[in-house]
Amino acid sequence: MASRTLNEDNVGMSLTSRIFHILREDILNDKYKEGEKLGEAKLAEELGVSRTPVREALKQLELNGIVENIPNRGVIVRGISKRDIDDIFTIREAVEAIAASWAVERITEDELKKLQETHELMEFYAFKNDIEKFAELNTKFHEIIYEATKSRHLEQILRNFQYYMKKTRKKSLQVEGRLSHTIKEHEEVLKAFLEKDAVKAKDSIASHIRNSRKNVEENTEL
């Protein structure tokens, strides 16, 4: 399965970057638990690659604070802590508010259409109570806004945060009533974009993130 992902996903990335993304995803999805050792040789064998790109990918993970290279022990999974999630929500509220206000002014008609279509699909999958698909579309909704800022730096920062939110998003969406509340919050964001109202876009997305944070704090454990 891992070899298939290396061959088919993240086209255009270096081998090291693809391995980094796979391992980060695996850690966030709890395939590798906090405190578990990640051995170069074993990972290289599982992924069907040499040890060199695995070693470089582990160094990138260490720079991201997801793993730690401990003398005489090797590379150990640190995972994502409650403090990490708290920090991410605080930063997201500030940065996504900026992103929304910029995106309103810079969004293309095609991007706006994609935003509407994504919201409609979220409504459909909320009705079906398909949390997996809903979570995927939730991420897409936000990423359309990031892309619409036309700021590659802002987009990269926020896309990275989306990876870390996967650890809590699916659990929080399982809370009774959260799907419908999320739909309403996204609807307010969409209205702001349709009305070209930068202030409303900024306020509505900040409110959405605050509500998401409250839901995570009250209903999930790390």
Threshold 0.85, pTM exceeds: no
Q: Which residues of 80-108 are buried (b: 16+ CB within 10 A; e: fewer)?
A: beeebbeebbeebbebbbbbbbbbbeebe
- In the chain, what is the straight-line distance between the N-terminal and C-terminal CA atoms, in Å? 28
What are the tens digits of pLDDT across the range 98-111?
999 999 999 999 99
Amino acid in the structure at residue 39: G
Residue with tokens 């708290």: 86
- Give Rg (Cα) of the chain: 19
Q: Could you tell me the domains of the chain?
A: 2-77 (1.10.10.10), 82-219 (1.20.120.530)
- Residues 33-64: tens digit of each pLDDT: 889 999 999 999 999 999 999 999 999 999 88
